[in-house]
Amino acid sequence: MKKNDWWDKFGMEGFLEIFEYHKKDLEGIYGKFPDYKSFAEIIQVEYDRWRLSDDESVKKLEKIIKQRKGKLTIDDWIVCMQSHGIPADKIAEITKTPMPSTLYYEIAQRQERTAKATEVILYNTSHLAETDHLVYKDHNMMEFTGTILDVFKNVTKKNIPNIVILDRSAVYPTSGGQQHDKGTMTIDGCAGTYEIVDAVKVGKCVLHILDRPLEGYLELYKGKTVSVKIDADRRKQLQAHHTGTHIIFSACRKVLGPHVW
């Protein structure tokens, strides 16, 4: 609006009227919107902040631009926004460069890293060889055999020995926004079938959590062969859900803009 000198024609009243037309246009999809009494006040405040960008902050930005020879890094953008209080569109206007497409995603990631508590490592897997992740070689593999490398006591379940580490595994552990597989495990020389109720990755190893503890002397389990069958229906449902989130994310970015992360 500023670039086209439309503020003189519309004014704040006309600008707010545009939002009313948006509401009417979207009623067919979402139904009638309830009154949002403070909306106009919020828009006015944001407009004033944009219009009255602090001169001192702009000077700091111009200094950075000079130091960077006109090319700001994404770190520079974030510093100018968070430390100097300069809106992203103002930075783009002064630098005559478009806002980085990953700017708001990077800001959100940094906030998440800052806010996230330090993860507590409950198990030490450094003495074990890396699990051969069969799931990444063939995501359709639903049955496999492996060898037990170690058995851990579950510190969150009164130290019952129900955590099994294998040399190879097609079980998907919780990671990347997708939940873990479930399935069954049979151990050579042991009666009955164990349910795999959880799977997590610690270090380079996949930990298979069973529904009940292993019995007897734990050292005797090392080297035993196991057969695992993965719950295929659960895997397919999780895959479809995960793919669906990516489709929605892509659609949102196309419709709403690159600030969607």
pLDDT in tens, 175-220: 878 899 999 999 998 989 999 999 999 999 999 999 999 999 999 9
pLDDT confidence of 245, banded at 50, 70, 90? Answer: very high
Least confident of 8-12, 49-53, 232-236, 237-241: 49-53
pLDDT at 170: 97
pLDDT at 16: 94
> What does the alpha-carbon distance between residue 63 and residue 39 come to, in Å, rounded to a whole number?
36
Q: How far apart are the first and last CA of the chain?
A: 26
pLDDT at 48: 82
Mean pLDDT of 14-24: 93
Mean pLDDT of the chain: 90
Least confident of 42-51, 85-94, 156-165, 170-179: 42-51
Asked if residues 249 and 200 have their Cβ atoms less than 8 Å apart, the reply is no
pLDDT confidence of 161, banded at 50, 70, 90? Answer: very high
> What does the alpha-carbon distance between residue 152 and residue 115 come to, in Å, rounded to a whole number?
31
Mean pLDDT of 125-133: 95
pLDDT at 257 over 80: no
Asked if residues 194 and 187 have their Cβ atoms less than 8 Å apart, the reply is yes
pLDDT confidence of 132, banded at 50, 70, 90? Answer: very high
pLDDT at 158: 93
What is each CA distance from 131 to 99, 173, 197, 201, 208, in whole angstroms?
A: 42, 12, 19, 9, 11
Mean pLDDT of 103-112: 87
pLDDT confidence of 259, banded at 50, 70, 90? Answer: low
Mean pLDDT of 105-124: 80
Q: Which residues lie across from 132 on neighbouring strands?
A: 168
pLDDT at 53: 63
Domains, the chain, ordered by start: 7-115 (no CATH), 132-241 (2.40.30.130)
Question: Could you please report the per-residue DSSP string of 187-255?
Answer: ETT--S-EEEEEEEEETTEEEEEESS---S-GGGGTT-EEEEEE-HHHHHHHHHHHHHHHHHHHHHHHH
